Amino acid sequence: MVKFAHLADVHLGGWRQGPMQDLNFQSFQFAINKCIERKVNFILIAGDLFDSAYPPIEILKETFSEFRKLKEAKIPVFIIAGSHDYSVSGKSFLDVLEKGGFCKNVFDAKITEEEILLNPTIHEGIALYGYPGKKSGLEVGDISKIKLNESPGMMKILMLHTTLDKVRGVLPIECVNSELLPSADYYAFGHIHVDFRYKNMVYPGPIFPNNFQELETLENGTFYIIDTSEDNPFERIEIKIKEVESLDIIVKNARSATDEIIEELKNRKLTDKIVLLRISGELENQKPTDINFQKIEDFVMESGAYFVLRNTHDLRTKDFELDYSIENKEDLEEEIVKKYSSENPSRFNDSINELINILSIEKQEGETVDSFNQRLLEESKRLLKFE
């Protein structure tokens, strides 16, 4: 008999907003404390402990502190890399955690063109196997070639960070055929942010929702404790740190929308909640910036909310037709620029074509989003002669 915890998709460092990053870490702390309280034999983390292979130093310091608690409680942790904290070079801060004696990466394989033979990590008569997630689902083809180096008489656990066919639904992404997986007693999955179980194949869900939409649908994080001594060994643990208050508002008039949204908020109890504002609609002869979002957010925070997030992805200005007569349809872009420049005189008009070229550059392989954005900004500032 064995009792273990199955976590996945912690994504430490994933939130840019400080208060949300704090909640993410508090959810991880809750899971760690619950594992210690329940005296589990070991913990599985099935990928994406971190949101990147190189998380910020503050995130690392706090994470090491939690792993130290587990080490003092004599609870071993077994991990695999996920699609976010996986590194092609094989070097990431997961290695630092392992070198420090805080966890064990169970990925150990002999790889040939025909097959990937996974070797087990043995712990108290249990054989743990694992294969990491990769960027863009590149692990899916590899997993079809996986075989397990046998460990007779032992309970087998296979850890994978990928998309299983049973959980994919209508998503247009590659997936692993569950019928072709090697035989195991428990499959510890990560990657898809849902709480899902099919027989002995489990996705525990994320430790904390990782974006606006996940906060709407999930509200909080989850993980599992598996106790083989129980008739139903699968126990879902909910991590509820803060309540979520969601508002979905359709607006037509930007100038009256501010007061309308605040009036709706007055009818809600916002104290210590994460407030989600989803604002949509089609504005005629107005811009989304005509809505005073700062006033709305100030009202929410003054009402005692923990934090407020807004989503205006579906808030649009009504399309209007450009009354342009294009003489040369082969050079549409240049004609539009000329027409615009003649109607909107500016010292920047001479830079339009070069600015278009700058904004068309692509992110280089291995370049982070922040570095790419900074490069775009620097090039644009240089062109426009901004300090």
**What is d(CA 178, CA 181) in angstroms, rounded to the nearest whole number?**
6
**Of residues 351 and 64, more confidently modeled:** 64
Q: How many CB atoms lie within 10 A of CB 335?
A: 16
- Do the Cβ atoms of 207 and 192 come closer than 8 Å? no
Domain 3-239 has CATH 3.40.190.80: no
> pLDDT (tens digit, 9 = 90+) per residue, 162-194?
999 999 877 788 899 999 999 999 999 999 999
Sheet of 155-162, strands arranged across: 121-123, 126-131, 155-162, 186-191, 201-204, 195-198
Tell me what pLDDT residue 377 has.
83
**Lowest mean per-residue pLDDT among 248-252, 278-282, 326-330:** 326-330
Say how many Å lie between the first and final Cα of the chain, rounded.
66
Which two three-digit tokens encode residue 347?
């010292």
> pLDDT (tens digit, 9 = 90+) per residue, 90-106?
678 899 999 999 999 99
Q: What is the DSSP letter of 363?
A: P
Helices (H), the chain: 18-37, 57-72, 93-99, 139-143, 165-168, 212-217, 254-266, 293-302, 332-343, 352-359, 369-384
Mean pLDDT of the 122-149 span? 94
Ranges of each domain in the chain: 3-239, 244-317, 334-384
> pLDDT (tens digit, 9 = 90+) per residue, 264-298?
999 999 999 999 999 999 988 788 889 999 999 99
> pLDDT (tens digit, 9 = 90+) per residue, 211-224?
999 999 999 999 99
